[in-house]
Amino acid sequence: MVKFCKKCNNIMLPKNGKWVCTVCHFEIEMKKEDETFVLKERIESKKKEIAVIENVNTLPTTKVECPQCGNLEAFWWLQQTRCADEPETRFYRCTKCGYTWREYD
């Protein structure tokens, strides 16, 4: 049997003889027929740790002048930043100072 909250329409779970909303904590008393409900499994979400690795030189490089320091090599990548019918935006990141800039077609 599944109960849904009358206030916010989210699922309600049994707790201490009541149905309790998992979102807004609205409570409803359990009826006699609801008491046979057995909770078989409880799933708790745990926050996952995400490792961010910086300065991994896996991007392709090209010869272009950095407007910040004048270095002649930069990493580059393409990204769709506008409508699908527009060309992609070309990004550059200087291999020396890390300055990032973009070019449009």
Q: Is 21 annotated as ligand-binding?
A: yes
User: Is 34 assigned a catalytic role?
Assistant: no
Do the annotations mark residue 83 as ligand-binding?
no
85 classed as catalytic: yes
Does 94 belong to an annotated binding site? Answer: yes
* Secondary structure element (H or E) that encloses residue 34, with its range: none
Report whether 69 belongs to an annotated binding site.
yes
**Structural contact between residues 72 and 47, judged by C-beta atoms closer than 8 angstroms:** no
Q: Which of 33, 49, 54, 85 is catalytic?
A: 85
Burial class (CB in 10 A: 0-12, 13-18, 19+), 12: buried
Q: Is 8 annotated as a binding residue?
A: yes
Tokens found for residue 14: 């049994």
Distance of alpha carbon 7 from alpha carbon 105, whole angstroms: 52
Q: Among 35, 65, 86, 88, which one carries the catalytic annotation?
A: 86
Please state the residue numbers annotated as binding site for Zn(2+): 5, 8, 21, 24, 66, 69, 94, 97
Report the catalytic residues. Answer: 85-86
Q: Would you list which residues are annotated within the binding site?
A: 5, 8, 21, 24, 66, 69, 94, 97
